[in-house]
Amino acid sequence: MSHHKHHDPTTAQNNADSVDWGLIKLSENRAFNGWHQRFSHRSQCNRSEMCFSVFLPPKVEDNHQVPVVYWLSGLTCTDENFMQKAGAFRIAADLGLAIVVPDTSPRGESVADDPSYDLGQGAGFYVNAIQQPWAEHYQMYDYVTQELPQIIEANFPVTSRRSIAGHSMGGHGALVIGLRNAHRYRSISALSPICNPMECHWGQKAFSTYLGPLKASWFEYDASELLKQHGTALPILIDQGEQDEFLNDQLRPNTLLDALPVENDRLTLTLHPFYDHSYYFVASFIEQHLRFHARFLL
């Protein structure tokens, strides 16, 4: 019988690090000989409690540090949807990748909200809000790019090699964050992303609310505009279902292709007949996405 030391990330890493990150472990599950763990903590940049989930592959139990794929989820999701529905653990365990999934917004009674599903809590759009009352808590861009990686790299057995991926609103977040921070990530992928939010209802509603009416501040959160202005230094993989109910109105992946010169080989966009917007689609292609990231992380 083999005995593995149970890995407790909060004590294993950087005991010399004097920062008290205030991590509280909410739950823990063994999965594919790795660990799925869920934490809450007080976020400095969002000024609220935040939750995130982590999958640590079995490799970490032999004192290996592993690279991280950050996954950003879509509208109405929390950090739990991907972990429960995507079926990503087996392949992440095999490849030796950690997966980190933040919540999609700050939450709590003191956090501004809106009754509609596409604004407020559960709909942070991965921007730094500058309009009140949102600016007080909705700093998701800084949270994903700065605060969360600091916490993960200080408290878990991971390297500083990162890739970023996401679905729907999270696909928008992954594209924007990866394109704007090419020095911090190795690769970008997205399933059913919102590709041109300045030109769709979801994006216009969120951007006008969080960022205000001046469109100059919108450009830096629109993947198609960023590609048009700067191209991409990172490889990008995108998959999109052709039966997706949001395809033509909200997602509009062709705007990414239109933004790039024809000869660009860094972006691969594939349309899949019969697939919709759901986690059935995500689960069908997550292995491909993790293998894609592993090529650049390992």
Residues with a known catalytic role: 168, 244, 277
In degrees, rounded to 5, the angle at the alpha carbon of residue 105 between the alpha carbons of residues 217 and 205 is: 45
Which residue, among 201, 247, 255, has the nearest Cα to 228 in the 3D structure? Answer: 255
Rounded-to-integer distance, Cα 3 and Cα 192, Å:
42
Q: What are the helix (H) ranges across 44-147? A: 80-85, 89-95, 140-142
Which residue, among 136, 134, 110, has the nearest Cα to 123 in the 3D structure? Answer: 134
Rounded-to-integer distance, Cα 41 and Cα 52, Å:
9
Burial of 94 (0-12, 13-18, 19+ CB in 10 A): middle
Amino acid 40 reads S
Residue 225: strand, helix, or coil: helix
**Residue 162 phi/psi, 5° resolution?**
-135, 145
Contact 245, 276 (CB under 8 A): yes
Residue 270 has a CB neighbour count (10 Å cut-off) of 11
Q: Which token pair is 99? A: 């997966």
Amino acid 184 reads R
Helix (H) or strand (E) holding 70: strand 66-72
